[in-house]
Structure formats: C-alpha cells, structure tokens
Structure 1
Amino acid sequence: MAKKKITLAVTGLNNTDNPGPGVPVIRAVKESEDLDVRVIGLVYENLEPGIYMEGLCDRIFQIPYPSSGSNELIERIEKIHLQEKIDVLIPNFDAELFSFMKNEQRLLEKGIHTFLPNLKQFQEREKDKLPEFGKKYDVKVPGSINLGSTNQISDMEDKFDYPVMIKGQFYDAYETNNEEQVKQAFYKISSKWGLPVIAQEFVKGIEVNVVALGDGKGNTIAAVPMRKQYITDKGKAWGGITLADEKMMELTRSIIQKTNWKGGMELEMIKTSKGEYYLIEINPRIPAWVYLAVGAGQNIPEALIKLALGQEVQPMTSYKIGKMFVRYSYDMIVDLEKFAAISMNKEI
C-alpha cells in the first residue's frame, strides 16, 4: 500500500542541554510505515540545532515568539501555509500552546490540523493549580504555595521543611535549601516566566515519567513509563530506561479517562520508598524523550498525526521493557550561508 503523503510543521528544534521535542518527533514520523512526511521546521531562534541537521527538515521558517501576540504568530503560520500547504502542525513548547489552542478552529478552516488539549484541560493542570487537580481526580500531589513576592517566603517556611522545589509556570525548577536560595530562584524564574512562582513540597523518592497520548474521548492510545538514569543540572533526562510498572500505567489511564485528555502528555511522578506515587507535574505535550517510546515499540508522534487527521487509531498496549536511551552532544560543522539565510530571510 502506498504511503499517505503529508506535510507536517513542527516547532521545538532546539536540541541543546534543554532540548525541545521537535527533533525526536521528526525522527519518529520519518520511521512511519504508513506516512510519507515532508517536514517544515518552525524555529524561534536562528541557532536552533535542528535547522542545521542534515536530512531533518525539507524547509525551515522563523516564526515570532508567542509573547509578541498570538495573532502575529498565527498570521505567520498562515503565510507559510500558503506556500507549503501544511496538513498537520505539532507545537512542542508549553509557552506557545495557548496561542495554538485558542486558534485551533481558525487553523482548521485553512486546512491545518492540530491535536491539542482544550483550554480547560490545559489550564486545570497548570502547576499553580495542581493541588486542586489532585483533589478533583483523586491523585496524590505534593503541597504547594503560589508565591507572588518574596514576602511570602516566611509563610512557605511555616508550611514546608527544606528542601523546597521552586518552579516556573512553564519551565525551570530549582531545589532550594534556605531562604537565600529561594530568593535567588524566585528572581531568576519570575524575570523569565512571570508570576506566580510555585513553591512545591519536596517529596523524597525516585522520579519516574510517563509519555502518553489520549484520544480526547477518555482512551489511552499509547503510554510508556521510564525512569531517568542521568539528569542534567536543568533537571532534564540525559538517559532513561523503560519500566514495567502497572501501577503507574493505571494512574496514567485513570487521569486520561477522567480528564478526556486530548493529545500528547508527560506525567512526572515521584515514587516513594513506600511505593506511593505523587504527581509533580503534567506537561501538556510530547516530551523531548519521546524517541525512547518509539524505540520501545510505540510511535506516539505518528499516532498523533493520524488522530489529528481524523483517522482511527488502535490503542498500543505493549512496549519493550529495559530499553534505554542515552543522549549525546555532537558538533556539527555548518556553512555561514545557512545561518545568514535564516537570519536575513527568515526561511531556508
């Protein structure tokens, strides 16, 4: 059977020490047996490594940051669409999702399909609302306080013992051991991601994660759990291994069923020595380590494209246990022309 030809636009090509999911998403769809994918890379910065990787993207376009206004971002996408006829768009950054969710219908009318959570799903799992999420869906979550200023640090100290995790709304998390460290983390995060800054109770245990895909009707289409084996100073997994963990899978299926989650997600949990699971974060998109799931037998990006196009996708229920991924950095030698082209023309 001939492969279905599609044009896919992907963001998140920053494969640095804080990697975006774009490159592994593209690698995954290129392995599809059903889809023949032409890839349009959408970048914010002219030094995102995905721009320069050979054989990754067919075209590259620079797009404006969502902070410059959703309308400007969507108009740029529509202009690119006139040239390239995008079938499916997979955004990979938390900070841009709001713009794409809000404009889902507008994009669809132009023929650009997405498969994203709705605004209610997106907002109720935000880090500053996690305690309410835990109560509503019967999931254990660590205690947290939303800090609007450093004056609230004493309230936080009344409630939690050190260490305390200090987190940004979208990204960044720091383990702090005293008031001075809390202040440093607060200023660092608030200047970058705004307020509130979240102070979260520290739960001792092993960090485990699940990458999953919900169909929007309560069904789990894919789910693969892993344990981080090597973590960078930014808290990113630089190595991980797939696990056999039925309890974690049940928790994932339950959250997807109760929320009717639509799209990719990553559940970050702490497993305590007593075998209890605390949900510390839900990332509302495919994570950067998704290629491990592909290697273990579940091609989540491919399934997401099919769902976006309205195709029937059967749930994937098995995966290989004990599969590992190890990241590495790699120096690419590139010509200045490419850098100049993306800097000046905003496209290659």
Structure 2
Amino acid sequence: MANRYANLCIAITGLNANDNPGPGMAVIRSLKESFGDSLRIIGLSYESLEPGIYMRDQVNKTYQVPYPTEGTTALLDRLAYIHQQENLDLLIPNFDSELFNFIKIAPQLQVMGITTFLPGHQQLSLRDKVHLKEFGEKNGFYVPADQKLYHADDLRKAVDEFNFPMMIKGKFYDAHIVYTMDQALKAFHQLNASWGIPVIAQQYIKGTEINIAALGDGRGNNISVVAMRKLYITEKGKAWAGVTIKDDKLIELANKFAITTAWKGGYEMEIMSNDKGHLYILEINPRFPAWIYLTTAAGQNQPAALVKMALGNDVAPFEDYQAGKLFVRYSWDHIADITDFQQISVFGEL
C-alpha cells in the first residue's frame, strides 16, 4: 500500500512545537509511518522559528505563507507559486485561525490540482466557541454556560453568573482558569490582544479531562474515533502526557457530533466528565490535535486515512484501537545553522 502513495507531495501547516504545539509535526510523523520516507512533505510556515522548518528529515522544503489576516488573495497567490515549484497533491491545514481562508479557496485549489479534505464554513461556524452553547442546546449536548466578553466591564456579569473559578478563553486559542477578578481582567486583556473579541467566559466544570480525536467522512460517519485521558497538563491547558482509554459513551458522543454536523475532516472534542458522568463539551477544535500521533500508535492512523479519502479512495471505518497507549511529550534541542534562519527570514523558503 505504501508504494501506491510513495510519490505524493503534501503541504502541511502547524510546524510550531513550543509549549502550545501545532499538530503539523505529529501529522507528518503519522503520514511517513504509513506511506514511507519517499513521501515529499512541504512545510508551510508563518514564523521563521517554527521548529519543523529545520527538521530536514521530516520536512523536505518549507515556504512561508501570509498570515490569515492578509486574506485569501495573498494566500492563493503564494500557494500558486509554491504549487508551480512543487506540484502539490494535497494540503492539510492544522490551525483554527487559518481554516476560514483555506475553506474559501478550496475550490480554486482543486482547479489547480491541489486536493483538500475540509469542513464547510457552516460546519466551521457551528462548533465555534462563540456558538458552542447554542449548538449544544439545539442538539442535546452538555455544554458549559458561557458569556461573550466585548469589554472588561462584561466580566462582572460573568462573575455574577458563574462565580470563581471560571474559564477565560480566546476566540481561537488559549484558555485560563481564573480565581479572582484581577486574574480574570489580566486574562481578558491578554486574549483580546492576541485574538480579538469576543473573549469567552465559560462556567468551570470540575471533573476528568478527556480528549477525543476523530475523523469524519463528510456524510455523517466517523472513520476513526480515539479517546485519550489527560495525565499531565501545562499552564495553557495543553496535554503534555495522556493515555488512550475506551468508553462506549465517548464513541457515541463523537458519532452523534458527526451525524449532527456531517463533519468532513479531522476534529478534536475536549470533554469534561463530571461526577454525575455527564460529558460536557468544552471545545470542538476543527482540525487534528497536536497529540494525533497517539491515534497512530494505538492502531488508527487518522492523518493517513484522511489522505486516502481526500484522494477519492474508500476507507473502511476503524473497528478497534489499543487502550493503555501512553504519550509523554518532551523537549529536544534541535541544532540548525543561523544561515538557515536567515534564508527563511529573508527569502521565505528553505
């Protein structure tokens, strides 16, 4: 099977690997494990110090692309140039903030010969943090209560409703548990500066944190569902260690989401299981999580399955995975030359 896909050229975003890592390197690792090292990987970066740029054994060449705020015309022009150089077969975006633009230009990319496997704008909007509570109420999901914050003064209303502790979340990324008004104000201003308004205040649910990585086929079915319990969490709420678990209720929850939305592509559900056994949906991220390689290690290679479906091949739903597979993230000093940094910074290519 590997030879069938050996000459593919796939562009990947999300090459950062800091304390809030992107999914790109884990996606690449999964693809290489399935399709072999002859697979050509093209990195798409936004910053000159995204570690994946310099990992030559994983990424064949990297091109900088415009920030999402620069709009679709700049992005399409840049991708047309990259395609001219590399003859891309497929593109897999891995950041929430870039998806709107990639979805918008997907038909034009298809005309150019670049395939994607993405949800539509309506699907993307349904699970947005701003609309999540409404989505849950309409479709029978447990979702914590929330308040949209447009001004710092809006925090007082949120405190009156939720008390402390509560969650303060950015529109795209980042979440903080806050215990005082001073902490809440600080979090609001930080998230507003990073991601804009609204900032979201969310009721704090106490319980066990569980994440679900899943892959929808766009027709109401999940091809893969793998659940993971967080064992170690960073200050930013990111899983730094976790273990695969099996629970029929988690599978049913993900399947209900796929049926409700007809989701197409990878997604992650962040769940809190409370003391009554209710599964609260804290967030639904519209792409693979940074821990996606754990699904591969457990027996369900979701990135590889996405590639096969994107290229028009039928993929049978995975039936099982191994519980008790543990991941522990670690830091590794990757050494590069300053000339590489200068090259990507000045010319936008490496």
Q: TM-score range by the shorter chain?
A: over 0.9
Q: How does 1:295-314 map to 2 (within 5 A)?
A: 295-314=297-316
Aligned position for 1:197: 199
Whether 1:142 and 2:144 are equivalent positions in the alignment is yes
- Deviating more after overlay: 153-162 vs 95-104: 153-162
Residue 277 of structure 1 is aligned with which of 257, 276, 279?
279
Equivalent in the alignment of 1:165: 167
Residue segments in structure 1 that go unaligned for 5+ positions in a row: none
| Distance in 2 of aligned mates of 1:34 and 1:57 | 13
Q: Which one of 337, 340, 347 corresponds to residue 338 of structure 1?
A: 340
Once residues 75 and 33 of structure 1 are traced to their aligned partners in structure 2, the CA distance between those partners, rounded to angstroms, is 29
Kindly indicate whether the alpha-carbon contact (under 8 Å) linking 1:101 and 1:119 is maintained by their aligned counterparts in 2.
yes
Deviations 1:17-38 (A, max 9, x none): 1100000100100011589521
Specify whether residues 137 and 35 from structure 1 end up closer, same or farther in structure 2 by C-alpha distance, changes over 3 A only: farther
2:49 aligned partner: 47
TM-score by length of 2: 0.97
TM-score (norm 1): 0.98
Dislocated runs of 4+, deviation >6 Å: none
- Which amino acid is the alignment partner of residue 347 of structure 2? N
Aligned to 2:4: 3
Q: Report if the CA contact (8 A) 1:167-1:173 is conserved.
A: yes
1:99 Cα deviation (Å)? 0.3
Q: 1:193 to 1:33 in 2, by over 3 A?
A: closer
Question: What are the Cα deviations for residues 181-210 of structure 1, in whole angstroms up to 9, with x where unaligned?
Answer: 111111000011000010000000011000
Partner of 1:294: 296
Match of 1:215 in 2: 217
Structure 1 residue 158: deviation in Å? 2.1
- Choose the corresponding residue for 1:58, options 49, 53, 60: 60
Measure the CA separation in 1 of the matches of 2:151 and 2:294.
Answer: 39
TM-aligned CA deviation for residue 322 of structure 1: 0.2
Q: Within 5 A, what are the aligned runs for 1:42-121?
A: 42-121=44-123
Secondary structure in structure 1 of the residue aligned to 2:125:
helix
- Does residue 122 in structure 1 map to residue 124 in structure 2? yes
Matched with 1:25 is 27
Shift of 1:131: 1.0
| SS of the residue 1:128 aligns to | coil
* Alignment match of 1:244 (pick from 243, 246, 261): 246
Name the CA shift for 1:35/1:265 in 2 (closer, same or farther; >3 Å): farther
Deviations 1:134-191 (A, max 9, x none): 0122100000010111111221122112101000110010111121111111100001
Give, in whole Å, the separation in 2 of the partners of 1:181 and 1:347. 41
Partner secondary structure for residue 34 of structure 2: coil
Moved more, 64-73 or 98-107: 64-73
Secondary structure (helix, strand or coil) at the match of 1:32 reads helix
Equivalent residue for 2:158? 156
State the percentage of identical aligned residues: 49
Determine helix, strand or coil for the equivalent of 2:303. Answer: helix
**Distance apart, 1:54 and its partner CA:** 3.4
CA distance in 2, matches of 1:15, 1:181: 27
Mean Cα displacement is larger for which, 275-284 or 128-137?
Answer: 128-137
Alpha-carbon shift at residue 288 of structure 1 (Å):
0.3
User: 1:338 deviation in Å?
Assistant: 1.2
